[in-house]
Amino acid sequence: MSEKPIGVAVLGLGNVGTEVVRIIENSADDLAARIGAPLELRGVGVRKVAKGRGVSVDLLTDDIEALVSRDDVDIVIELMGPVEPARKAIMAALEKGKSVVTANKALMAQSTGELAQAAEKARVDLYFEAAVAGAIPVIRPLTQSLAGDVVLRVAGIVNGTTNYILSAMSETGADYADALAEAGVLGYAEADPTADVEGYDAAAKAAILASIAFHTRVTADDVYREGMTKVSAADFESAKALGCTIKLLAICERLTTGKGKQRVSARVYPALVPLDHPLASVNGAFNAVFVEAEAAGELMFYGRGAGGAPTASAVMGDVVMAARNRVQGGRGPRESKYAKLPIASIGAIETRYYVSMNVADKPGVLSSVAAEFGKREVSIAEVRQEGMEDESGQRSGARIVVVTHRATDEALSETVAALADHEAVQSINSVLRMEGTSK
């Protein structure tokens, strides 16, 4: 074993930072054996130095720049979030020749180009396994294990909060508001859940997944995004009748046009998923990433997508790899962005649609509704019609649920717009896409 220890600096002492420090201290012998040199904690960067944080106060500092510049620091572990001041700290570390491990998804979805360039220039490692799907190894399998294959599609449940809420709605028949409130009480949803329920968190992860899966540059701004706040108990009922459940999916797809040109789609929205699809049984706070590759076929990676200990596991895997590279004088594989694929607009994407609407209960309505689909060459796969009663028990109209075959999003959204103006349609209750079927 090498005599010279590998020095690490941890930035941020939240749930993940605390767990990372615990592992570095408690598993010192194991880590040293795996790395080939001891790992030594040089300092922990915090906003305010104070006692009683589970770490010797001598190790704490609020001077992040000085900490990441220390000569005896080899690896900087960034767990501060959000984009700033994390970006500035990481850039400073890379410029000083430190390898960097980060769990910062927002930053990696936005500034990965700039950071990767700085890492390349300094010839150091920049690892971010923990930025997507917490403990689940996803980045490494996509960048390394599938490096000799062609990834066609990635569909992930990558946000634990929304999956907890949707699983609860599916199990108990609860409405969105009640399920959200319960998730808040149990600590699965934050006081302001916008980033989760509106899909911003999932979109950042979709950008990272698309970038590494397709060897191209995709940022969070490139990701089409719809939240899941409008999914209703009635949607779950209809979904069940169709043999489906509803999940918030992050989807990354490689599209090949007629002329062989390739584009990339990255999108986040709630979608119906058939119950026999492996993603359908990923419930509660669990995450999973389903990958389809040309040679490998279907793969799925499943596990805990958040939490201090699971995220720390992913961070420490990266730290051991970066440290090994230091000891052995090499570097890990970097990202490759050679493909430079353009982003496809959502209108060009082919999906299936589920449309639920209330209509007047009179002859000919179903036929005239169906005609709106036909006019735009959207083929209907399944129609369900139910009578509805008003409060006095009188028949007041009918609910129609239509599931289409695959068609472009443009044709589908034009159809829905026409239906909204249709004289026999009282209201469009919901429009969701259906994923995970081939038809």
The alpha carbons of the chain give a radius of gyration, in whole angstroms, of: 25
Nearest residue (CB) to a second copy, 127 versus 176 = 127
162 with 309: CB under 8 angstroms? no
Q: Which of 417, 402, 399 is nearest to 353 (CA)?
A: 402
314 binds a second copy (CB under 8 A): yes
From the candidates 205, 259, 340, 362, which is the catalytic residue?
205
3-class DSSP state of 271: strand
With CB under 8 A as the contact rule, the residue among 42, 98, 105, 140 that binds a second copy is 140
Q: Which of 412, 114, 105 is nearest to 287 (CA)?
A: 105
Nearest residue (CB) to a second copy, 8 versus 407 = 8
Q: CB-based burial of residue 215 (10 Å sphere; 0-12 exposed, 13-18 middle, 19+ buried)?
A: middle
144 binds a second copy (CB under 8 A): yes
328 binds a second copy (CB under 8 A): yes
Q: In the complex, what is the shortest distance from the CB of residue 394 to a second copy, in angstroms, rounded to a whole number?
A: 44
Strands (E) in 346-412, as ranges, are 350-359, 380-389, 395-404, 407-408
131 binds a second copy (CB under 8 A): no
25 binds a second copy (CB under 8 A): no
Q: Is 205 marked active-site? A: yes
Report whether 101 belongs to an annotated binding site.
no
Report whether 279 belongs to an annotated binding site.
no
Q: In the complex, what is the shortest distance from the CB of residue 119 to a second copy, in angstroms, rounded to a whole number?
A: 13
3-class DSSP state of 39: strand
Number of residues interacting with a second copy: please give it, by CB under 8 A: 58
Q: In the complex, what is the shortest distance from the CB of residue 418 to a second copy, in angstroms, rounded to a whole number?
A: 41
2 binds a second copy (CB under 8 A): no
Q: Which of 106, 128, 56 is nearest to 321 (CA)?
A: 128
SS (H, E, C) 143-178: HHHCCCCCEEEEEEECCHHHHHHHHHHHHHCCCHHH
How far is the C-alpha of 128 from the C-alpha of 384, rounded, in Å? 46
Q: Which residues are catalytic?
A: 205
Task: Name the site residues for a second copy (rule: CB under 8 A).
Answer: 19, 23, 27, 30-31, 33-34, 129, 135-137, 140-141, 144-150, 215, 278, 281, 293-304, 307, 309-310, 312-321, 324-325, 328-331, 333, 336, 338-339
> Binding site for NADPH: residue ranges?
105
